Each structure stands twice: as structure tokens, then as C-alpha cells.
Homo-oligomer: A and B are copies of this chain.
Amino acid sequence: MLTDLILMNSYFSSDFKLAILGGGQLGKMLLYETRKFDIQTLVLDPSPEAPSKIAANHFVQGDLMDFETVYNFGKQADVVTFEIEAVNIEALEKLQAEGITVYPSPQTLRKIQDKGVQKDFYTEQNIPTAAYKRFPNLEALRLDLTANQMSFPFVWKSTQGGYDGKGVQVVRNAEDLNKIIDVPCIAESMIPFKNELAVIVVRNPKGEVKSYPVVEMEFHPEANQVEYVICPARIDEQVAQKAREVATKVSEAFGHVGLLAVELFQTEDDDIIVNEVAPRPHNSGHYTIEGSYTNQFEQHLRAILDLPLGETESKTGAVMVNLVGEEGYTGDVFYEKIEHILALKGVIPHIYGKRETRPFRKMGHVTIINSDLSEARKIAEEVKNTIKVITK
């Protein structure tokens, strides 16, 4: 207990070092918080132009999947964390075995990194999730279809490396099958749902656990793309309560330390089932920077450093809009009409600092805060229809 207190105190303006695997926008926003607490940081990222490059105390360019690179990088720190799941787990396990604190734990990451393993874990733990089957390759899946062991439609997911909608495909017929690649995969039942929801849960090593209010992911009616993240979700209080309970159960089942973003479906029958999770700050929690008592990045830091967790309630209604590259533009980015959206009430843009735009690349996000949520939603639509991420 005494050593606990000494350790805690040593984070602030001290020689304590936090290593962060990944230097993208999530890492960049996490760095604001390490600066606020004056915690020294090391960042590893393969890109020499990573958004996290300049605000870290020490930046290392290197491959996040390479054992030696990750091990040697982590070895310099007191605590290691990550902002992306695609990192070398063996290196994290070795660091942990040698006494370096790694949060979220490599054991949890192993259960999450492979979507087949993740689904098996939910089954074992009685956590509601869509029915599924694992396949070692595309051939095995085809055989099942031929043998009528399964039928169209279903949701195909690559077990590894899916990100931002990549590695996920709705398969409605034999033709759709041609769009999918030959990798280990799962096939999931399609669940008719009313809403896609998300709950961010935070847990520290002491087992203190808190959940943020439920957010709603509102999709574009035609394109299958999240357009708005809305907090709080416009759903019944009972459903919201159930969603937070299920999400908390997932965090506790993992014995997770840090943030866990739990994506959920609200079914036609108002059941809540788990879609998938991310063991880190998450796009669905960006609204917390302006909207919440404690933003998700500070919260992650509090959790992995075993500090008391912060309040998760909202200060005001919030809507988040992603800024993604327009189709048809690749090159040096230009934020057309950004000055117009700055004139709208409660509009705060976050520009991630990527020089080059590409179609659908996440270049930033915009938060709209307002005590009246429906007003925030209206302004969000105006933002969405005004700013364009194009090239000069």
C-alpha cells in the first residue's frame, strides 16, 4: 500500500515513463493527457509522419508487429500501453514476464485480436452475441454452404486485422462470396437490429469499474457508414441500463484494465447483444473530450496507472461527426469551408494532422455540443453538409 502511494505519486513530473504502441490520432489525443499530467512518454509508430510524433518525449520509428522492435521499445518504459490492436503480443508477454506493467494485458489482447477467439470467449462467458461459426479458410466456409450447414445471408468477418469496416462483408448470395478473401474467418447470423449502440467501460487494476452513457451510432440511410455518434443515445432508459450492464459484464469477464469500447446491437425485441470490442480509446468516445466530466483519454490513463477513475457523466449533449476524405481526392489535404463550420454554435473540429487525404481516410472529427441534443444533431447535419475533405 505504501509502495502503491509512492508509485502513484511518481507519475507526475518524474522519471516515470509510459510507452505507447502506435502514434495515430488516438495516440495523439492520449498525449494531450500525458502532457496535462506531465507524464513522460515514448511512442512507437511505423510512420515518420505519425500524428503523435511531436508531443511525445521520445519518438521511435518502427514496426509494431516486429517482436524485437516492440520488445526493445517497451523495455525502456515503466508501463506499456497501445492505441491499436495490431501489435506484437509475444513481445508484450515477454515484457510482462520481465516485470514491466502492460495494460491492457497481452492476455486480454490475445482474446480480442482474433475475432474467432473473441466470439468463443463470449460464448464461454454467457455474454449475448450473434450466432457464428469459425472457419480456417474460405474453402471450409464454401463446403458448409454446399452441404447446407449454413445459408445466405450472413456476415463474414476476417478473424484478424479488421479495422474501420475493412475485413467485414455482408454476404447475401454466391456472387458476394467472390468479394471475400481467403483468410481465417467467422460467419455470423445477420441480426435484425433497431440501433447500433456503444458503451465505453473503464476498469482499473483495483477492479474499480465505471461505464459512460450509451451512445448511438446513426448510419447514413444509403451508404453503410456511421455518420453521427450521439450521446446520450435516444433510447429507453431500460434499454440503456441493460446496455451498460452487458458492457460492464464484458469488461469484468476480461478482467480488463483500461478502456473497453463495447459495440452493441439493440435488436427488434430490445435485446442487447455484443458485436465486438476495442481495448483502447475509441471513435465512439471522441465526444467525451467536450461532452464528459472526464474525457476517454484521461480516463484510460487513470485506469492503466491505477489512479482513481473519473466521473463518466455528461456535461452536455454531444454529437460527433467523422471527417473522412472525399471520394475522388488523393493528395495534400484541404479542409474546404472549415471556417464556415467554426461559426456554428458549439462546433469544435479536431484535425488529426495527416498531410495526405485519401477516399474515406479518417482525417479528423468534429464535436458539436449543445444542452439541447436535437439542436446538436441539426448542427451536426449542417457540419456534415458543409465541410469537405479534399485536396488543394
Are the C-beta atoms of B54 and A338 separated by less than 8 Å? no
| Of A153-161, A226-234, A264-272, A340-348, the one touching chain B | A340-348
Query: Chain B's nearest CB lies how many Å from the CB of A53?
Result: 10
Q: How far is the CA of A5 from the CA of B338 in the complex (A)?
A: 10
Query: Chain B's nearest CB lies how many Å from the CB of A315?
Result: 4
The one of B302, B307, B335, B353 that contacts A9, using a Cβ cutoff of 8 Å: B335
Is A361 interfacial (CB-CB < 8 Å)? no
Query: Chain B's nearest CB lies how many Å from the CB of A311?
Result: 5
Are the C-beta atoms of A351 and B56 separated by less than 8 Å? no
Report A1-41 CB contacts with B as 1/0, cut-off 8 Å: 00001001100110000000000000010011001111000
Chain A residues packing against B (C-beta within 8 Å): 5, 8-9, 12-13, 28, 31-32, 35-38, 54-57, 290, 293-294, 298, 302, 307-308, 310-311, 315-316, 333-336, 338-339, 342-343, 345-355, 369, 371
30 example contacts (A-B, Cβ-Cβ < 8 A) are as follows A8-B339, A9-B335, A12-B351, A13-B335, A13-B351, A28-B35, A32-B35, A35-B54, A36-B349, A36-B350, A38-B352, A54-B55, A54-B57, A55-B55, A290-B315, A294-B348, A298-B348, A302-B342, A307-B339, A307-B342, A308-B339, A308-B342, A310-B342, A310-B347, A311-B345, A311-B346, A315-B315, A315-B316, A315-B369, A315-B371
Closest 4 CB pairs of A and B: A308-B343, A38-B353, A38-B351, A55-B55
The one of B12, B31, B298, B355 that contacts A338, using a Cβ cutoff of 8 Å: B12
Are the C-beta atoms of A293 and B369 separated by less than 8 Å? yes
Q: Which residues of B contact A310 (CB under 8 A)?
A: 342, 347-348
Q: How far is the CA of A35 from the CA of B349 in the complex (A)?
A: 11
Q: Which residues of B contact A290 (CB under 8 A)?
A: 315
Q: How far is the CA of A345 from the CA of B316 in the complex (A)?
A: 16
Query: Chain B's nearest CB lies how many Å from the CB of A143?
Result: 49
The one of B316, B343, B349 that contacts A37, using a Cβ cutoff of 8 Å: B349
Q: Which residues of B contact A12 (CB under 8 A)?
A: 335, 338, 351
Q: Which residues of B contact A349 (CB under 8 A)?
A: 36-37
Are the C-beta atoms of B353 and A13 separated by less than 8 Å? yes
Query: Chain B's nearest CB lies how many Å from the CB of A298?
Result: 7
Q: How far is the CA of A336 from the CA of B6 in the complex (A)?
A: 10
Are the C-beta atoms of B35 and A55 separated by less than 8 Å? yes
Given A37-B349, A308-B342, A315-B316, 5 further pairs, Cβ under 8 A: A8-B339, A12-B335, A35-B55, A308-B343, A315-B369
Q: Which residues of B contact A343 (CB under 8 A)?
A: 308
Q: Which residues of B contact A54 (CB under 8 A)?
A: 35, 54-57
Q: How far is the CA of A55 from the CA of B57 in the complex (A)?
A: 9
Q: Which residues of B contact A56 (CB under 8 A)?
A: 54
Known: A310-B342, A315-B316, A369-B293. A336 touches B37 (CB 8 A): no
Q: How far is the CA of A55 from the CA of B336 in the complex (A)?
A: 26
Are the C-beta atoms of A13 and B354 separated by less than 8 Å? yes
Task: Using CB atoms, name the residue of chain B closest to A208.
Answer: B343
Q: Which residues of B contact A333 (CB under 8 A)?
A: 13
Q: How far is the CA of A353 from the CA of B34 in the complex (A)?
A: 10
Query: Chain B's nearest CB lies how many Å from the CB of A342?
Result: 5
Task: Using CB atoms, name the residue of chain B closest to A294.
Answer: B348
Q: How far is the CA of A349 from the CA of B308 in the complex (A)?
A: 13
Task: Using CB atoms, name the residue of chain B closest to A57.
Answer: B54
Q: How far is the CA of A334 from the CA of B355 in the complex (A)?
A: 40
Task: Using CB atoms, name the residue of chain B closest to A8.
Answer: B339
Q: Which residues of B contact A371 (CB under 8 A)?
A: 315
Are the C-beta atoms of B32 and A339 separated by less than 8 Å? no
Q: Which residues of B contact A339 (CB under 8 A)?
A: 5, 8-9, 307-308
